Each structure stands twice: as C-alpha cells, then as structure tokens.
C-alpha cells in the first residue's frame, strides 16, 4: 500500500490571516482548527511511541526473559484503534487522505474550488451518517471484557465515535473557512436533495437486485473518486448508501466491519514500518547505501541509473513505504545525475519505475495487507518477495543499458578500491538491516508486526553511535507524519472491508468465482485476467484498498485452480505496482513527480519503455512460479 501520499498543509488554515480581525468568526474558526490539531496530533504521536514500547517489551520479555507478557496483544490492539482514528483526523486536517486528483488538477481554479467543496461535503455526509451507529457500537461493547487487561472493550471501541466526531468537526471548520456561506448553503442543499431523492427512489432500488452493485460500487464510487473525494470516504459513503437503501441491514453492521478490518494486529506493522522508514532517512543510513553503490558502479556508462535501481531495492527492504523510499534516494542521486547530463524526465521515469519494481520487496505494506485479509503467512510473503524484485530490476537494468549505449551518457572516473571499501564499511550497518529484519521473522525472534520495533531500535542505536546523524528535533514531526499516513491508509482498509462484506453478502462473490472459474484456459487465463484487472485497479485505487476489496474474492478462486497463493500474491502485487506508477492516473507517478520536482509531462513519454519492461518481467514471474515460491520451506 503501498502508501503514496503527498501531504498538503491544512486547507484554509492560513487563508487571509492578515485580513482577519480579532474577534471575527473566521478568527474563532482558526482557533478551533488549532485546538483540533493539538487534540489529535499530540496523542497520536504519543500512541506511536507507546506502540513501539509495548511491542518491543513483548519481544524482550518473551525471547530474552522467557516470561511472555499476556496482555501485550490486547493493549497493542486497544492503542492501535485509537492511533488509526486520531491519525485519520490528523490526515483529514492536513488534506492528506488518499485521493485521485488527476482530473481535478486539470480543471481551472474556479472548478478546483468546486471539487474541493464536493469532497468536503461528501466526507461530512458519510461522517454524519455513521456517527450515531459508531456510538451505538461502542455502547454495545461495554458488555464485552478484554480478558487479559480485565477492562471493558468499550475503552477500545470508543475510538471509533470519538475519531468520527473529531473529523466531522474538522469538516465543518473546513467548509466554513474555505467557502463562502452561499456556496456552503448551496452544497448542503444539493447534498440534501440527492439524499432525499435516493430515499424516495428506495422502493425502485430494492427491485433492482444486484444491479445496485453497479449503481453504488461502480457508478457512485467512480464518480466520487474521479471528483477528488478521498478514497476512504468514497467507499464508506457508497457502502452506507447501498445497505441503507437496498437492504434491511442496520448501519451499525458497517461500523462493526470497519472495526474488524482495521483491528487485525498484523496491520500494526504499517505505522511502525512507516516510522522506521523516516528514521532511515533521518539517520543518513539510506545515503550511506547510495554512496556505496555510487562508488561501486558510478564509473559504468549509465552507472548512476543502476545505482538508483539498486538503492530503491535496498531501501524498500527497510522502510516498506514507497514515498519514503523515493524521498530517501532521489535527493541523494539526482543532483549528480544531472551533472552527468541526465534528462529530468528520464530520471523521473526511472524513479517511478523503480517504485513499481520494488512493490514485492519486504517489508512491503501491500504484502502485510495481503497476509491480513487472506491469512497467508507473512514470513512466506516476505521470503517470496525478494526474487521477483530482482527479476524486475534486471528488466529495468536492460533498458538502462540500451538507453546508455544510444544516448552516450557520461561516465565518472572509477572510484579507487580503497574508496569502495571505505564506503562499504560505512554502509554495512545500513545494508545489514533488511537481513536483520528477515532473520528475526524467520527465526521466530519476533512476529512480522513486532519485528519493525527491532528495526526502529536498531536504527536509533546505529544513528546515534555510528552515523551520529540523529536529529532529535525531527522526531516529533516524524511521529505525527507517521500517525497521519497510517491513519489515511488504515481508514481505507476499514471502509473497504465494509464494502467487501457488502459485496460478499449480495452474492456477488459467488457469482464472480463461478465466472472466473469458467474462463477458457484455466489457471493461465485466470492469471492473465488478474494481471489486467489489477493494473487497472492499481491505477485508480492503489494496492491496499484493491487488495482488501478483491483479495477475499479472488484468492479462493486461485486456490481452486491450483495456483499457489504466494505465487498469485506476487503476480497481483507487481501488476498493481505497474498501475500505481503509470500515468495518467497512477498516484505513485505523481508522488515521484513531487519528490523529484519534475513536471508530470516531462516524464510521461519516457516512462513507457520502463513500464513495458516491467510488464515483461511480471509475465516472466507469472509464467515461472519457482521465482516466487522456490525458496519457501515446504
């Protein structure tokens, strides 16, 4: 999930500051916004620290002291749901929830403000519809007791209504600070008219049967996503609308499915690996790896392009977050590549392609999500993901070799073996981290969730003692950023789980399974259709929501057709990665543009040769299952 977000400042928070008079309504709204920021950012950052401490203490007590703490998982789960909801609120205030803005960005300034208003009203509508059911859900959880902690489960479930109310308040503040009263009134009237109209059409909708799936989950979701409504709220609103208008299912069920989808403890790896990625950049560990590769390959024609491919592979093995990977590698390499005459568009294209190349490299957040929703072993997925990344790296390297020969790229003097050896010694602690992480999981020292805490402690110790680049002032912003990014990702998983449950209850799952199983060509045709489908899904939904929605539907079919579930995982993740970084819709491509400070159009005509090589590599992985499962223990 991959998680490809370019964060924005809170919209409207600083607008017209010099013109706002003390005591005016706008000034009061600014104060409310700041209070909401403090109320969400401070506890969410502290929750990240608490989760690291709780899980690390669990590892130490079990593996070192041989006295397991039975309450660790329950406490971690309780803190986790609060982290998700408060982090989602932080992301909403910053305007950094995942959304598809390719079409919105092409609109003029007057239309851009209209789309922003639509997005806010859509979010507000969904929040208003689920606020009461969320409170009801938390109230019912008072009857459940957490056995190890011996407290009511309402302490955990209360995070849902509290988080929803906080985001609801933020959406109201945003409406009042970013639009005129007339525009706000018009938007609310239109929204109310749409809701009333759908309610009036309820008898007709109930007669349509499964045709409602197309209306709500294709038509409504597509309209909202392409209008720039954040994906989480698009999924949530469509699901609530479908269940409320076409079934007798109470809305509280949606809240319960959201809670279930977000509460898998394995997903706690998402914020912890995101924070680890930020520490890697902060301690200069990524820069050390890049410098070693540059000394080793810089004298080869097109050598820094090979370095970019290798560095993205290594950094992906640490952080798991593509935006963090690109942000760590690009600033260290691009200035030198420009000095050697590299084209801005070519560098952007290769950066985006390497993002897609490394989607399976552990600890990929998409792999963690697959393990969560399909019950496939995370350790097997981590082991299987290494070689497919190498295959795609070889494909990209072939394109670089061909391009460097025809373009006549400049070479730098060969670094001395002494310089190579010195940079290897400097980079060794950073290069060792991916192997430490994998060994800890395989040897049973820590689970896939806990192992990230070992990486965090390792990065802090190495940063303080060896690289001495640990800037304590950057810790707090990194914690808040971690909470915001994690909340944005995990809220999507929650609402997508509700949508997936609705699809299953409608009978769509069984119909899809029957249709896919009857494809002519058997397993090969199923994999081919899956590749095309997930390329398209990756370009619109990104990897994590696509997996949550369709993983439970398609993985059982793959098993029925005799396809190894780990092999199928690698194929669909690679396919989604290609869609994610393919213009014009791929969100990852625009994240690469922002990080490289290059216009999207500059790389669009360069990236296709790299995407073609990635497609060829994906077909090779699909055709040769051993690449994915050859190193698994049987």
Q: How confident is the model at residue 5 (pLDDT cuts 50, 70, 90)?
A: very low
The enclosing H or E element of 567 equals: helix 565-580
The radius of gyration of the chain from alpha carbons, rounded to an integer in Å, stands at: 24
pLDDT higher for 98 or 230?
A: 230
- The pLDDT value recorded for residue 14 is 41
- The pLDDT value recorded for residue 298 is 67
Q: Helix (H, G, I), strand (E, B), or coil: what is residue 2?
A: coil
For 193, the token pair is 């008219």
pLDDT(616) > 70: yes
- The pLDDT value recorded for residue 24 is 74
- The pLDDT value recorded for residue 614 is 93
- The pLDDT value recorded for residue 116 is 82
- The pLDDT value recorded for residue 429 is 85
% the chain with pLDDT above 70:
88
Q: How far apart are CA 265 and CA 594, in angstroms?
A: 32
- The pLDDT value recorded for residue 262 is 84
pLDDT(525) > 60: yes
Closest CA relative to residue 267, chosen from 445, 439, 76, 437? 76
pLDDT(364) > 60: yes
Distance, CA of 190 to chain centre: 32
Q: How many CA atoms lie within 13 A of 620 on its CB side?
A: 16
pLDDT higher for 516 or 557?
A: 557
Per residue in 565-607, pLDDT tens?
999 999 999 998 898 888 766 767 776 776 777 777 777 778 8
Using the structure block, give the residue that is written with the tokens 């909708």: 205
Per residue in 124-178, pLDDT tens?
999 999 999 999 999 998 888 888 888 998 999 999 999 999 999 999 898 888 7
Per residue in 170-203, pLDDT tens?
998 988 887 777 777 877 787 788 888 888 888 8
Return the minimum-mean-pLDDT range out of 19-23, 222-226, 361-365. Answer: 19-23
- The pLDDT value recorded for residue 15 is 40
pLDDT higher for 371 or 38?
A: 38
- The pLDDT value recorded for residue 624 is 92
Q: What is the 3-state secondary structure (H, E, C) of 155-199?
A: HHHCHHHHHHHHHHHHHHHHHHHHCCHHHHHHHHHHHHHHHHHHH
pLDDT(294) > 80: no
Return the minimum-mean-pLDDT range out of 312-321, 356-365, 604-613, 619-628. Answer: 312-321
Per residue in 455-509, pLDDT tens?
888 888 888 888 777 778 888 999 998 899 888 878 887 887 888 788 777 777 6
Q: How confident is the model at residue 343 (pLDDT cuts 50, 70, 90)?
A: confident
Q: What DSSP string runs through 320-334?
A: --HHHHHHHHHHHHH
pLDDT(211) > 50: yes
pLDDT(370) > 80: yes
For range 270-281, the mean pLDDT: 80
Q: How confident is the model at residue 448 (pLDDT cuts 50, 70, 90)?
A: low
- The pLDDT value recorded for residue 202 is 82
- The pLDDT value recorded for residue 474 is 85
Q: How confident is the model at residue 543 (pLDDT cuts 50, 70, 90)?
A: low
Q: How confident is the model at residue 410 (pLDDT cuts 50, 70, 90)?
A: low
pLDDT(89) > 90: yes
For range 426-430, the mean pLDDT: 85
369, 542 Cβ separation under 8 angstroms: no
pLDDT higher for 497 or 36?
A: 36
Q: How confident is the model at residue 6 (pLDDT cuts 50, 70, 90)?
A: very low
pLDDT higher for 619 or 174?
A: 619
The enclosing H or E element of 145 equals: strand 145-146
Q: How far apart are CA 358 and CA 312, in angstroms?
A: 7
For range 198-212, the mean pLDDT: 82
Q: How far apart are the first and last CA of the chain?
A: 28
């Amino acid at each position: 999930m991959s998680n490809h977000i370019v964060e924005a400042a809170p919209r409207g928070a600083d607008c017209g500051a010099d013109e706002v008079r003390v005591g005016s309504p706008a000034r009061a709204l600014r104060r409310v916004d700041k209070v909401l920021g403090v109320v969400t950012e401070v506890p969410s950052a502290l929750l990240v620290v608490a989760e690291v401490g709780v899980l690390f203490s669990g590892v130490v007590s079990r593996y070192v002291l041989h006295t397991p703490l039975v309450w660790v998982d329950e406490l971690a789960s309780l803190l986790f749901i609060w982290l998700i909801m408060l982090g989602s609120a932080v992301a909403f205030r910053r305007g950094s929830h995942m959304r598809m803005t390719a079409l919105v960005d092409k609109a003029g300034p007057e239309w851009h403000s209209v789309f922003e208003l639509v997005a806010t009203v859509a979010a507000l509508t969904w929040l208003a519809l689920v606020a009461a059911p969320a409170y009801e859900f938390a109230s019912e959880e008072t009857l459940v007791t957490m056995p190890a902690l011996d407290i009511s489960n309402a302490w955990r479930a209360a995070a849902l209504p509290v988080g929803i109310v906080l985001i609801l308040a933020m959406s109201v503040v945003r409406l009042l600070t970013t639009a005129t009263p007339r525009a706000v009134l018009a938007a609310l009237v239109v929204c109310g008219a749409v809701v009333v109209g759908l309610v009036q059409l309820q008898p007709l909708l109930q007669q349509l049967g499964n045709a409602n799936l197309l209306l709500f989950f294709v038509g409504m979701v597509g309209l909202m996503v392409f209008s720039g409504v954040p994906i989480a709220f698009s999924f949530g609103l469509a699901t609530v609308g479908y269940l409320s208008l076409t079934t007798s299912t109470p809305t509280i069920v949606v809240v319960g499915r959201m809670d279930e989808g977000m509460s898998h403890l394995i997903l706690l790896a998402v914020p912890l690996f995101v924070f680890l990625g930020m520490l890697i950049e902060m301690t200069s560990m990524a820069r050390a790896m890049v410098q070693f590769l540059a000394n080793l390959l810089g004298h080869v024609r097109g050598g820094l392009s090979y370095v970019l491919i290798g560095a993205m592979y290594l950094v992906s093995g640490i952080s798991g977050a593509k935006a963090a990977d690109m942000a760590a590698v690009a600033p260290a390499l691009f200035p030198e590549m420009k000095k050697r005459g590299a084209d801005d568009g070519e560098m952007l294209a290769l950066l985006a392609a390497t993002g897609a190349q490394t989607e399976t490299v552990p600890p990929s957040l998409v792999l963690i999500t697959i393990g969560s929703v399909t019950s496939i072993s995370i350790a097997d997925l981590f082991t299987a993901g290494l070689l497919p990344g190498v295959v795609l790296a070889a494909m990209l390297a072939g394109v670089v070799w061909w391009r460097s020969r025809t373009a006549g790229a400049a070479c730098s003097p060969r670094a001395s073996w002494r310089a190579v050896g010195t940079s290897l010694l400097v980079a060794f602690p950073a290069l060792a981290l991916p192997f430490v992480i994998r060994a800890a999981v395989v040897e049973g020292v820590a689970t896939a969730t806990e192992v990230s805490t070992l990486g965090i402690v390792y990065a802090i110790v190495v940063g303080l003692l060896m690289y001495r680049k640990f800037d304590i002032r950057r810790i707090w912003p990194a914690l808040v950023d971690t909470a915001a990014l994690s909340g944005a990702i995990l809220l999507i998983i929650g609402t997508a789980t509700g949508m997936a449950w609705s699809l299953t209850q409608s009978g769509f799952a069984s119909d899809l399974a029957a249709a896919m199983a009857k494809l002519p060509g058997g397993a090969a045709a199923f994999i081919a259709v899956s590749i095309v489908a997930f390329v398209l899904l990756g370009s619109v939904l990104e990897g994590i929501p696509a997996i949550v929605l369709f993983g439970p539907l398609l993985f059982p079919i793959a098993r029925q057709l005799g396809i190894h579930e780990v092999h199928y995982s690698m194929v669909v993740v690679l396919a989604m990665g290609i869609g994610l970084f393919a213009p014009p819709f791929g969100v990852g491509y625009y994240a690469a543009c922002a990080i490289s400070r290059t216009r999207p159009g500059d790389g669009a005509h360069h990236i296709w040769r790299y995407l073609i090589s990635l497609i060829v590599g994906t077909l090779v992985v699909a055709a040769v299952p051993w690449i994915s499962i050859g190193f698994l223990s049987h």
